Chain A
Amino acid sequence: MDSRLITALIVVIGVPGVLLGYIVLSERLLAFAPDRMRGRLRPWVWLAPAIAFLGVFLVYPTLNTIVLSFFDKFSKKFVGFDNYVYFLTTNDTLTALRNNAIWLVLLTFFAVGGGMIIAILVDRVRYESIAKSIIFVPLAISFVGAGVIWKFMFDYRPPGQPQTGTLNGIVTTTGADPVPWLINAPMNTIALIIVAAWIWTGFCMVILSGALKGISAELLEAARVDGANELQVFRGITFPLLLPTIAVVATTMIITSLKAFDIVYVMTNGAYDTEVIANRMIKELFTYGQPGRASATAVLLLLLIIPVMAINIRRFRAQEAIR
C-alpha cells in the first residue's frame, strides 16, 4: 500500500484513538485516587497534553530565546548585555525602532479610524453587505501578494516614459513628474503603512460593524425621540458603547504593527530607512548569522508587546466582571 495512505490512516484513525485512549486511561487511573483528590486532579490530567504542547512549542522556545540573547553568535560564549547594547546603539536598528513607532501610530489610526468610519457609514445603506465585502476582501490576500500588488501600484518610471504604476499614472496625467514613492523617506514608510491599512481596515470594519449592530435599537431611538441629533447620538451613545471593541481592535492593530514584516520585506527589504524590527530580526538570524543579536531583538519585541497584551487582558477581565 502507498505509504502516504498509511500515514493518512494513522492520522485519521490514530490521533483520535490516542486521545480517546488517553481519556479512558486517565479516568481509570483517577479511579484509584481517593474520592476527595479526584475532583482536584481531574482538570490537570485533562489539561496535561495541552500544557505539554504549550511548554514544548511556546514556553521552551521563549525561554531559550531569552537565554540565547545573552550569548555570542555561536551561542557558546556568554556576552552579558552586549547584544542589547548593539541593538540600542546601531543606526539601522534604531531606525527600525523609530519606524515601528510610526507604524504603530499610523496603522492603528488608519485601520481603526477607517474601519469605524466605514462601519458607521454603511450601517444603514441597502448595499451594506456588498460594500463591506469589497473592503474586507484584501484581508484574504496574503501579505506577500499584497506587497507585490502594491509594488506595481507604486511603480516608478523616469519622466517621459509610460508610467506602469497606477499611482504615477494618475500623478502624471496632471502634468506633474512621477514620484518615487518607495524611495524618498519618510514618504516610503507611510506608503508601506497604507498597504497594511488597505489589508487591515476590512478586519477592523467587520468587528466594529458587529459591535455597532449589538447596540440596542431602543436606546438609539430613545435618544432621537429626546431630540438628540445624529452627532449627539454618536458622541453620547454609539461611541461610548463601541469603546471596548475599539480598544480590542486597536490593541490588535498595535501588535500587528509591532510585528510588521512581510510587506516591508517584499517591497523595500528595509532599504531607504524603511527597516522594521521584525525584518531586522530575520536579517540578523538568517543573513548575518547572529542568533544572539536576533534573539535580543526578539526579546525586545516581546517586551514591547507584553504591556499591550496586559492591557488587553485586564480590559477583558473588567468586561467579564461587568457581565
Chain B
Amino acid sequence: MTEWAKAGALKPLDDVLDVATYKADTAPALVQLGTVDGKISGVFIKAAVKGLIWYNPANFKGEAPATWDALEATSPAPAKNLWCIGLESGAASGWPGTDWIEDFVLRQSGPDVYDAWVAGTQKWTSPEIKSAFEAFGKVVGQAYGGSNAVLTTNFGDGGNQLFTNPPGCLLHHQASFITDFFKKQGGAKDGQFDFFRMPDINPSFAGATTGAGDLFGMFNDTPQARALMAYLVTADAQKIWVERGGALSANTKVTDYPDAVSKRSADILANAGVFRFDASDLMPTAMNDAFWKAILDYVNDPNKLDSILSNLDTVQASAYGG
C-alpha cells in the first residue's frame, strides 16, 4: 500500500471519509497503519489479532503461562507433541511461519528492532533476527509429525490435531481468524477451543501484539468508489463480516461479536500496549516472498540457517529503495 500511495496510484481518502468520525470510531493503531505521509490512503475492513495460542480446554487445563520459557516447558500430555503447525498455503506457503518469527522478534527484541526490520535497515543475519529463527526452530522441533508434516499441512488444517482423540498436539499458534477453520476443517464446536495471548519473552516489551488486516484503497476517483469507501468504514458495513464469525472489525463501535473468543480478541486489538502490523505484509513484495520461502527452507533443513539468512540479506539489499 505504501508503495502505491507514494507512487500516487492510490488516491488519498481525506476528503472522501468523514475524517472526524472515522478517527473516533476506528482502533487508533489501524488508523495510523492506513496513513501514508499524513494522508489516509487505506481503510481496514476487517482485522485479526495474531500471536494467539489456541488450545482445546479438554486437553489443556492449566493457566496461561506467564512467560515463554514456562510455556515451552509445558508437558504436552495427553498429546505427544506440544505444537501443531501447518505452513502449506499454495503459492503463499510459509506465511504462518513468518507470523511466528514476527512474534518472536517483537517479544524478544522489541518494537524498535521490529520497525527497523520492517523498514529494511535491520540485517537478517543480525543476532536479533537469527535468534527469532532459532526460537521458531525449537518450536518446530516439538511439532506434531515433524518437519514433513509441518511443511505439507495446509494452514487451515493446522489446528485439526487439537480436536482428535487422542490429540496430536496441545497448542496451535495462529491469528484470530482461525476459529472459522477450527469449525469447518477441524470439526470443532464452540467451547472446544480457547486461546491465550502468546506470553511475553523480554519483560521490557510486555504487552506487545502483532496483527493483520484487509485493507481497501481507491485507485480511481469515481463517485461510486467514494460512496463505497465511505460505506466500508461504517459500523453497518463492518458488522456483516463480524457476524459471520472469524473476523474483527476495525470499527470499535461494532460490538456484536458472535462468540466470546471473537470478543476477547477484539479487546486485545483495541487495547494492545504495543501493536505492530504483520511485518512480512509490510515488507516489499520481493522481501515478503523471500521470507515465506526462507521459512520453508529453514524448516526443511535447519542446518542451512546461516546461508538462508544471508540470502535474505541479499534480497533485502535490492528489494528496498528506489
Which residues of A pack against B, CB within 8 Å? 74, 86, 90-91, 155-159, 161, 180, 182-183, 265-266, 269-272, 283, 287-290
| CB neighbors of A among B202-230 (8 A) | none
Is B148 interfacial (CB-CB < 8 Å)?
A: yes
| CB neighbors of A among B242-285 (8 A) | 284-285
Name the A residues within 8 Å of B3 (CB-CB): 289
Contact of A157 among B91, B149, B284 (CB under 8 A): B149
A180 near B289 with CB under 8 A, answer: no
A272 with B297, Cβ < 8 A, contacts A283-B289, A288-B286, A290-B286 known: yes
Chain A min CB distance to B127 (Å): 23
| CB neighbors of A among B124-177 (8 A) | 144-146, 148-149, 151-152, 168
A287 near B286 with CB under 8 A, answer: yes
Is B50 interfacial (CB-CB < 8 Å)?
A: no
Name the A residues within 8 Å of B289 (CB-CB): 283, 287-288
Name the A residues within 8 Å of B314 (CB-CB): 90
B152 near A289 with CB under 8 A, answer: no
A271 with B93, Cβ < 8 A, contacts A158-B146, A288-B319 known: yes
Is B311 interfacial (CB-CB < 8 Å)?
A: yes
A183 near B286 with CB under 8 A, answer: no
B293 near A289 with CB under 8 A, answer: no
Is B13 interfacial (CB-CB < 8 Å)?
A: no
A271 near B149 with CB under 8 A, answer: no
Q: Which of A90, A287, A288 has the largest count of B CB atoms less than 10 A from its CB? A: A288
Contact of B152 among A156, A159, A290 (CB under 8 A): A156
Bound Cα distance A124, B152 (Å): 45
| CB pairs A–B below 8 angstroms (13 shown) | A156-B152, A157-B145, A158-B145, A158-B149, A158-B168, A180-B148, A182-B152, A269-B90, A271-B297, A272-B296, A272-B300, A288-B289, A288-B319
Q: Chain B 295-319, CB within 8 Å of chain A: the 1/0 string?
A: 0110010000000000100100011
A91 near B319 with CB under 8 A, answer: no
B interface residues, tally (CB under 8 Å): 26
Contact of A183 among B144, B151, B284 (CB under 8 A): B151
Chain A min CB distance to B89 (Å): 10
Extra inter-chain contacts (14) besides given A183-B151, A287-B285, A287-B286, CB under 8 Å: A156-B148, A158-B146, A158-B148, A182-B152, A183-B148, A265-B91, A266-B90, A269-B90, A269-B91, A271-B297, A272-B297, A288-B289, A288-B319, A289-B284
Bound Cα distance A269, B90 (Å): 7
Which residues of B pack against A, CB within 8 Å? 3, 90-91, 93-94, 144-146, 148-149, 151-152, 168, 284-286, 289, 293, 296-297, 300, 311, 314, 318-319, 322
- Which B residue's beta carbon lies closest to that of A74? B322
Name the A residues within 8 Å of B293 (CB-CB): 270-271
Bound Cα distance A74, B151 (Å): 36
Chain A min CB distance to B315 (Å): 9
Chain B min CB distance to A286 (Å): 9
Chain B min CB distance to A89 (Å): 10
Name the B residues within 8 Å of A272 (CB-CB): 296-297, 300
B148 near A271 with CB under 8 A, answer: no
B152 near A183 with CB under 8 A, answer: yes
A288 with B148, Cβ < 8 A, contacts A265-B91, A269-B90, A271-B93 known: no
Contact of B311 among A86, A91, A182, A283 (CB under 8 A): A91
Contact of A271 among B94, B285, B322 (CB under 8 A): B94
- Which B residue's beta carbon lies closest to that of A159? B145
Bound Cα distance A266, B146 (Å): 24
